[in-house]
Amino acid sequence: MKLKYYEIDENELLKKTGNEKRVVIKLPEGFINYSSKISEFLSKNGVDAIIYASPVYGACDFVSVDIKTIFIGEAEMPYLKKVYKNIEFVEARYEYDVKFLRKVVDSVGEKIGLASITPFIHKIKEAKKFLEENGKIVYIGKKSRRTKYDGQILGCDFSSATSIANMVDGFILIGDGFFHAIGLAIATRKNVFIANPLSKEIKKCDEMKEKLLKQRYAIIAKAMDAKNFGIIIGEKKGQTRYHLAIEMKKLAEQHGRKASLMMANNITNYIDYSDFDAFVSTACPRVAIDDAMKFKKPVLTPIEFEILLGERDWNNYEFDQIL
Ligand code: SF4
């Protein structure tokens, strides 16, 4: 079945429903426009689909469920297998010819790290072979407990890339969008080229990375005089970091600031109405970074909070990761 540019395997989808007569379907933002297509397909095959009507952010994004739930588009997080009792995944794929990487061959150094994200990761070995045929030495880092495939990165887990960073001159990220690329560049401190299989374009993310770092610096500065912090815990199972939140609360108190724990499933600007001066989000890193403009009050990552309190130097800025 075609969903925008991507394909999902109908047989796999039916298989994943098991013997259930009713399933919840969770779709990422880009696929919500295909709700009725999926619903009608399942209905024709004797299964009632309940389309989840709130935003879905990733394989991390679930709480306990009674009805079987199928995530479309995402790859499972292996470490959550035991917790995913009633949850299945049907990945989306985009078929592309790796030869478009020829455009990046002359720009990157000799030793390259390769990384990718779910819809494009199935071609990463083919991409490696192609780049090797074009004279490069190519490394693909091992998967982590949160990623299913070697070379796969998440917006909160760049460990497959950081594990090979000292062996390479730079990275090629086979993916679309800047969020993963900027995180990859900050986490590895290497040049990153984004090779987009959809547009076949190659882009560098340096400018966007500098812009983001300036924005983060300004947000830390804005929070500098805050006396009372809300430390947010993500309720979604794959984002919950209780221990880190408690650590952040203690750290605030050691530095003479007040702090209270908060919990949310979707973190929205509702928090701006609370009487906290600023927030530290221990949930998905995207909340503080990607959604920054949605909040009136500053929302920091735990690493930024350490910088604010003088526990870490700005030159040691790191992208928040859930490892
Ligand atoms: S925590 Fe955030 S970045 Fe990580 S997988 Fe979930 S949605 Fe993606």
**C-beta atoms surrounding 7 within 10 Å:** 15
Please choose from 79, 149, 156, 157 the residue to mutate so as to test ligand 1's pocket, defined by most ligand atoms within 8 A of CB.
156
pLDDT in tens, 248-257: 999 999 999 9
190/284 same-domain check: no
Distance between Cα 220 and ligand 1 center (Å): 22
Domain-embedded: residue 30: yes
The CATH number that applies at residue 252 is 3.40.50.11860
Q: Evaluate: CB of 238 within 6 angstroms of ligand 1.
A: yes
pLDDT in tens, 49-83: 999 999 999 899 988 778 999 999 999 999 998 88
Give pLDDT, residue 177. 84
For 119, counting Cβ atoms within 10 Å of its Cβ (0-12 exposed, 13-18 middle, 19+ buried), the class is buried
Distance between Cα 254 and ligand 1 center (Å): 30
Domain-embedded: residue 323: no
CB 281 within 8 A of CB 263: no
Distance between Cα 105 and ligand 1 center (Å): 30
Give pLDDT, residue 200. 96
Answer yes or no: is pLDDT of 321 > 90.
Answer: yes
302/215 same-domain check: yes
Calpha distance 182→22 (Å, rounded): 40
Q: Evaluate: CB of 60 within 6 angstroms of ligand 1.
A: yes
Tokens of 195: 């090779």
- Half-sphere exposure in the Cβ direction for 72 (13 Å, CA): 33
Distance between Cα 284 and ligand 1 center (Å): 5
Tokens of 157: 């887990």
Domain-embedded: residue 293: yes
**C-beta atoms surrounding 23 within 10 Å:** 21
Strands 137-140 and 87-91: unpaired
120/198 same-domain check: yes
198/220 same-domain check: no
pLDDT in tens, 116-171: 999 999 999 999 999 999 999 999 999 999 999 999 999 999 999 999 999 999 99
The CATH number that applies at residue 199 is 3.40.50.11850
pTM of the model: 0.94
Calpha distance 171→175 (Å, rounded): 12
Mean pLDDT of the residues in the chain:
95
Q: Whose CA is nearest to atom 1 of ligand 1?
A: 284
End-to-end CA distance of the chain: 33
Q: Categorize the per-residue pLDDT at 85 as very low, low, confident or very high, splitting at 50, 70 and 90.
A: confident
Q: Evaluate: CB of 155 within 6 angstroms of ligand 1.
A: yes
229/299 same-domain check: yes
pLDDT in tens, 279-295: 999 999 999 999 999 99
The CATH number that applies at residue 38 is 3.40.50.11840
pLDDT in tens, 225-279: 999 999 999 999 999 999 999 999 999 999 999 999 999 999 999 999 999 999 9
Domain-embedded: residue 322: no
Q: Categorize the per-residue pLDDT at 40 as very low, low, confident or very high, splitting at 50, 70 and 90.
A: very high
Last residue in a domain, options 171, 204, 237 = 204
Tokens of 33: 């426009």
183/221 same-domain check: no
- Ligand 1 atom closest to residue 234's alpha carbon, by position in its atom list: 1
**CA distances to 78, 237, 242 from 82, in Å:** 9, 12, 19
Q: Evaluate: CB of 119 within 6 angstroms of ligand 1.
A: no
Q: What is the total count of domains within the chain?
A: 3
276/215 same-domain check: yes
Q: Evaluate: CB of 234 within 6 angstroms of ligand 1.
A: no
123/194 same-domain check: yes
Domain-embedded: residue 83: yes
81/110 same-domain check: no
184/254 same-domain check: no
- Ligand 1 atom closest to residue 239's alpha carbon, by position in its atom list: 1
Q: Which residues pair with 114 in a beta bridge?
A: 140, 172
Look at the alpha carbons of 210, 111, 321, 87 in this order and tell me if their dihedral is positive or negative. positive
Calpha distance 283→268 (Å, rounded): 12
Domain-embedded: residue 69: yes
Q: Whose CA is nearest to atom 3 of ligand 1?
A: 155
Give pLDDT, residue 65. 75
pLDDT in tens, 160-219: 999 999 999 999 999 998 889 999 999 999 999 999 999 999 999 889 999 999 999 999
Q: Evaluate: CB of 58 within 6 angstroms of ligand 1.
A: yes
253/266 same-domain check: yes
Distance between Cα 237 and ligand 1 center (Å): 11
CB 267 within 8 A of CB 236: no
Last residue in a domain, options 91, 109, 126 = 91
219/275 same-domain check: yes
Average pLDDT on 305-314 reads 98
Domain-embedded: residue 321: no
Give residues with Cβ within 8 angstroms of 198, minimum separation 6: 5, 94, 96, 176
Average pLDDT on 288-311 reads 96
Distance between Cα 102 and ligand 1 center (Å): 31
Distance between Cα 60 and ligand 1 center (Å): 6
Last residue in a domain, options 188, 204, 220 = 204
Q: Which domain holds residue 130?
A: 98-204
Domain-embedded: residue 63: yes
Distance between Cα 170 and ligand 1 center (Å): 24
Q: Evaluate: CB of 17 within 6 angstroms of ligand 1.
A: no
